[in-house]
Structure 1
Amino acid sequence: MDKWKRLIALMALAAGIIALIPGRMDAMNGVSAKSAILMEQHSGRVLFAKDAYTKRRIASITKIMTAVLAIESGKMDDLVTVSARAVRTEGSSIYLRQGEKIKLRDLVYGLMLRSGNDAAVAIAEHVGGSVEGFVFLMNKKAAEIGMRDTEFANPHGLDDAENHYSTAYDMALLMQYAMKNSEFRRISGTKVYRAPAPPGEEGARVWRNKNKLLTGLYEYCTGGKTGYTKRAHRTLVTTASKDGVNLIAVTLDAPDDWNDHIAMYEYGFSHYHIANVSGKRIVGKITDPFYEGRLRAARDLQYPVTSEEENELRVNVYLLKPRAEWKEDPDRVPAAVGKAVLYLHDKAVDETPLLYEHKKEKSGENSFWDLFSFLGVRSDG
């Protein structure tokens, strides 16, 4: 009996230790999705992951890529003539009519808010010349973004091809890329949109966003895209912002996706904040007489960290060794003369170019910088 008592005591002790691990263990156990990820938008840091690199069907979150290519085409004000192929597309629809002319911009809103498969085909034919040509552009863009475990076979995500898949991680990369575009952010975050009525009808088409997190379930949600097919099941990509922290959540095959996303966001917002190192303060610490007062950081250094990680941050500055001809003729100094690199646990996590300015600048004032250790300046010839 003593043996069993000791075993029970050890099990209780182990359970107690696990319970002390902050949030992450509970979040992992509580997410219903087969694959899930939580990513910080600026840095791409993964704050939470569950089987995030497994290839799965993605359904209508495919349309994020379709929207990106439409926006980047520069044709958003074009009038698109709706084809018979577009009208015959199965699944969710914005009820386009064959032969009607509608702005590409309106189609993108119908695509993102109402998940119109007919809109996806109409967009693909106009932007890519054909659906097949557009799919080529989709895969080319995926490669550019770094989506290594993704292949697109159509612009809408229907289960009509076996070679149409992605991963939670790749879809987060896509959303991170998309959110850099102001028009995509605006469309993704629109709750209600009114488009012109089809020919012969009065009034307007009114499209309400299917993203329930955006329209009422979660006050910090800023956008996203829903998805569902019988083979992919429920898929969802959303974004949320709170107190300067901008997050991306992705779930694949998730029976309880709304709550999955809320749980991941609450975990991220409660455990992480953005550490900011002022660019002015960085250059203000540089004492090299050639560069002193003449440098400007392209931007501040930023990275999401926990309170415990904050003390592990440091910055190194790397500068080109000044050349004799630069001192004789400052106009020959290149625009970028170095970089400042932010490290966490000896891993580089962010960097910014240091730019030379011919007009001497005043050094910055004390800032948040004082929370971090500055490890001097290195000159590289």
Structure 2
Amino acid sequence: MRYAIGMLLAAAILFLSPLPGNRAFGQELKNQTVETNDELKLYAQSAVLMDGVTGRILYGKNEDQIRPMASTTKIMTCIIALEYGNLEDKVTASQNAASQPKVHLGVRKGETFLLKDLLYSLMLESHNDSAMMIAEHIGGSREGFAELMNQKARDLGCKNTYFITPNGLDASEEKEGQVKAHSTTAADLARIMNYCIGQSPRKKEFLEITGTQSYFFQNQEGKRSFSCTNHNALLSMMSGAFSGKTGFTGGAGYTYVGSISDEGRTYTIALLGCGWPPHKTYKWSDARKLLQYGMDRFHYREVYKEPSLPDIEVKGGIASSGRLEDPVSVACTLGEEEKSLKLLLADEEKVTVQTRIQKELTAPVYEGQAVGTIVYRLNGEAVKTYPIYTAGEVKRLTLPWCVKRILSRYLTMAGPEEILPAA
């Protein structure tokens, strides 16, 4: 019996030896790009077709090339005004605003309008004086408003975008020893649009304004009336088109950014340098090509697969049976996330699944402890990560527990005649 007790104590000391701690795994979600060689032969010098939900670029042509953006700028002007202002704000025209070049509403210095009315003027008719009135009202000055625009661009991850004007007129300025132009990329412009239509807390108002075909209003003095017609022809050209903005300057050429929904899918496109006069219709040709390409090639597929998760061995723990000789392990489970993953994929695209889970743990183990991940990858990059957790707990094997267990077993094995003294 003394030999048995000694062996059990030695085993307990072995179980109590220190082992490496737990290590959790993780992978940052990244946007993916489908490689293309401009098979659509677009007129635009830069173009993007983007998944309006995830931001994945489905088709790109020079999508990271920095170019002037013209009045597509006004989607940022509009969303900043909606987020920082009040639609019922009264806005008074300065001399600077009144002197902005065409296309303009024709405001006069000292004339007052509702911010709401100016936003319709901005987005439907692309009026440059309305843009400056909005900027000076919200930002205090053109420069102050530009800083709000640039900060929002940084927040959205638009690293190749720089705003100077609220209306998109060609401009440049010296900043931190460098000459910077009012510019963006097709990829950044599409990201900004995605934010406006799907992520901004004021997306409802943005969609209402940009989806309106015509609008009528008066100045606050009640002396002049104005009417606006939406110049986003795609709204009537393609079923499902619901928002967008055109633009043109001599430096930028014709530009366009817009979104369309079809069978539960949302696509955003951006076109920069899409011809110069007289080729005003090039942007509509490119827009139809890009959107039709997206609708024909990309469809939602359910790629989630229910995993088979192994139990993890636990060192220095107490088995659920309470016997020292039994192996110790803990079951695993996924978190409470929805067990579904639908991705917008081309027919030939494949999603791979990688499970990374720790091979062993050291007691004590707590229920809900992170022990690994299941990573879904598209084109080698993570698009979704599911964390793996322990489904139960395992207490640590301690010397007092071992002694108590040994004594209990010894007393159970020894009969009363062995323990009690003889009569």
1 or 2 for the larger relative contact order (CA 8 Å, sep ≥6)?
2
For 1:340 and 1:159, locate their aligned partners in 2 and report how far apart those are by CA, in whole Å: 48
| Deviations, residues 84-116 of structure 1 (Å, cap 9, x unaligned) | 211111121223333233222222222111111
Structure 2 stretches lacking a partner, 5+ long: 1-35, 174-180, 276-281, 312-329, 392-423
Q: 2:230 aligns with which of 197, 209, 216?
A: 209
| Higher helix content, 1 or 2 | 1
For 1:314 and 1:206, locate their aligned partners in 2 and report how far apart those are by CA, in whole Å: 54
1:224 is matched with 244
Q: 1:342 aligns with which of 372, 376, 385?
A: 376
Q: 1:170 aligns with which of 178, 183, 188?
A: 188
1:129 aligns with 2:129: no
| Superposition pairs of residues 276-291 of structure 1, within 5 angstroms | 276-277=302-303
Contact 2:335/2:387 (8 A) holds in 1 = no
Larger deviation, residues 160-169 vs 249-258: 160-169
Partner AA of 1:270 in structure 2: D
For 1:98 and 1:319, locate their aligned partners in 2 and report how far apart those are by CA, in whole Å: 68
1:21 is matched with none
Q: 2:269 aligns with which of 234, 249, 261?
A: 249
For 1:240 and 1:231, locate their aligned partners in 2 and report how far apart those are by CA, in whole Å: 28
Contact 2:303/2:351 (8 A) holds in 1 = no
Contact 1:168/1:252 (8 A) holds in 2 = yes
| Deviations, residues 21-71 of structure 1 (Å, cap 9, x unaligned) | xxx667432x11111111111222212122222221111011111112112
1:304 aligns with 2:344: yes
For 1:355 and 1:251, locate their aligned partners in 2 and report how far apart those are by CA, in whole Å: 45
| Superposition pairs of residues 1-381 of structure 1, within 5 angstroms | 27-29=39-41, 31-161=42-172, 163-180=181-198, 181=200, 182-183=203-204, 184-197=206-219, 199-201=221-223, 205-214=226-235, 216-255=236-275, 256-277=282-303, 295-297=335-337, 300-309=340-349, 312-316=350-354, 324=364, 326-327=366-367, 341-351=375-385
- Using the TM superposition, give the Cα deviation of residue 341 of structure 1 relative to its aligned residue in structure 2, in angstroms: 3.5
SS at match of 2:377: strand
For 1:240 and 1:322, locate their aligned partners in 2 and report how far apart those are by CA, in whole Å: 53
Pair 1:325–1:340, CA change in 2 (3 A): closer
| Deviations, residues 194-236 of structure 1 (Å, cap 9, x unaligned) | 334552337x53322110011x211221111000112221111
SS at match of 1:28: coil
| Deviations, residues 273-315 of structure 1 (Å, cap 9, x unaligned) | 122456xx75x976877665x8421684332211222xx2244
- Using the TM superposition, give the Cα deviation of residue 241 of structure 1 relative to its aligned residue in structure 2, in angstroms: 1.1
Pair 1:338–1:242, CA change in 2 (3 A): farther
SS at match of 1:259: helix
For 1:355 and 1:69, locate their aligned partners in 2 and report how far apart those are by CA, in whole Å: 41
- Provide TM-score, normalisation by structure 1: 0.73
- Provide TM-score, normalisation by structure 2: 0.67
- Using the TM superposition, give the Cα deviation of residue 319 of structure 1 relative to its aligned residue in structure 2, in angstroms: 7.9
Tell me the matched-pair count: 320
- Using the TM superposition, give the Cα deviation of residue 118 of structure 1 relative to its aligned residue in structure 2, in angstroms: 1.0
Contact 1:56/1:166 (8 A) holds in 2 = yes
Pair 1:326–1:95, CA change in 2 (3 A): farther
For 2:247 and 2:299, locate their aligned partners in 1 and report how far apart those are by CA, in whole Å: 30
For 2:342 and 2:220, locate their aligned partners in 1 and report how far apart those are by CA, in whole Å: 48
Larger Rg computed on CA atoms: 2
Partner AA of 2:115 in structure 1: L
SS at match of 1:159: coil
SS at match of 2:222: coil
Contact 1:300/1:352 (8 A) holds in 2 = no
| Deviations, residues 355-375 of structure 1 (Å, cap 9, x unaligned) | 999xxxxxxxxxxxxxxxxxx
1:375 is matched with none
Partner AA of 2:346 in structure 1: T
For 1:195 and 1:347, locate their aligned partners in 2 and report how far apart those are by CA, in whole Å: 50
Partner AA of 1:262 in structure 2: R
The alignment yields a C-alpha RMSD, in angstroms, of: 3.2
Pair 1:341–1:122, CA change in 2 (3 A): farther
